[in-house]
Amino acid sequence: MTTLNKINYLLHLADNALIIGHRCSEWCGHGPVLEQDIAISNIALDYIGQARNFYQYAAEIINSENDPSLGFVLPATEDSLAYLRDTPDFKNNLIVELPNGDWAVTTLRLFLFSTYQFYLYNQLVNDADTQLSAIAEKSLKEVTYHLRWSGDWVIRLGDGTEESKLKIEKAIEYLWPYTGEMFINNDDSISSDWNKKLSSIFHDATLTIPAKSWMQEGGLKGIHTEHLGYILAEMQYLQRAYPNSEW
């Protein structure tokens, strides 16, 4: 893996964590009950912490190269990588930038994505890069909880009332075309394990896995939905309005 490819991979991991963390944070004060409001707010904090670790490592490599041709503001920091990159520079999967929708969409999206992260981080724990391995090990502990929490909600909604089942089925229809992108450039075993876990939870939730279909993609190449631009406009406003601001 070239240095630039490694930087881009770290940014991909960081961008995924940052954007889904931002989406989860939007539920703060709006959760259906206080306990779940606090739970998803804490999940958001977990993701922001993961993003910071990946950004810090990427910045360390960028600064060690000290090469303006790489296209990054120098010296790079976690803040410059999060706040001073434009929409086409972000490498997150499209699924994490989609609007929250209702509680069914949010919890299903978290389940689909955290299941993917669980198996990905399980592989990265054994990576030859010890710093990446350490970040993955710490993140895995958090993602294990995210997976359990969101999986429980998928079962509750799917095997609940007629209305809750209808909502989770609509959420599946909406999110499914964005799931395939998660497995681009990844080991096939991650997709296999993801499908097995999905089958188990969907069985308990009395839900049906959709048939294979065409999948959306583009996030890895910087081609995003319109929604990411609105997220970044809100998230990056302060830093761009008042450059180099620090708490």
Residue pair 94/224 in contact by the 8 Å Cβ criterion: yes
% of the chain surpassing 90 pLDDT: 87
Residue 239, burial from CB neighbour count under 10 angstroms (0-12, 13-18, 19+): middle
**How far is it, in rounded angstroms, from Cα 14 to Cα 57?**
10
**Global pTM exceeds 0.85:** yes
Residue pair 97/19 in contact by the 8 Å Cβ criterion: yes
**How far is it, in rounded angstroms, from Cα 15 to Cα 85?**
11
Give the model confidence (pLDDT) of 53-96 as tens digits.
999 999 999 999 999 988 898 999 999 999 999 999 999 999 99
Q: Name the DSSP letter for residue 114.
A: H
Range of the domain at 84: 3-213+223-241
Give the model confidence (pLDDT) of 158-212 as tens digits.
999 999 999 999 999 999 999 999 999 998 999 999 999 999 999 999 999 999 8
Q: What's the structural domain count of the chain?
A: 1
**218 within some domain:** no
My answer on whether omega of the bond before 75 falls inside 30° of 0, hence cis, is yes
**173 within some domain:** yes
CATH number of the domain that residue 55 is part of: 1.20.1260.10
- CA distances (Å), 191 to each of 24, 161, 245, in order? 24, 31, 42
Per the rule left: phi > 0, alpha: psi between -120 and 50, beta: everything else, 92 is beta
Mean of pLDDT over the chain: 95
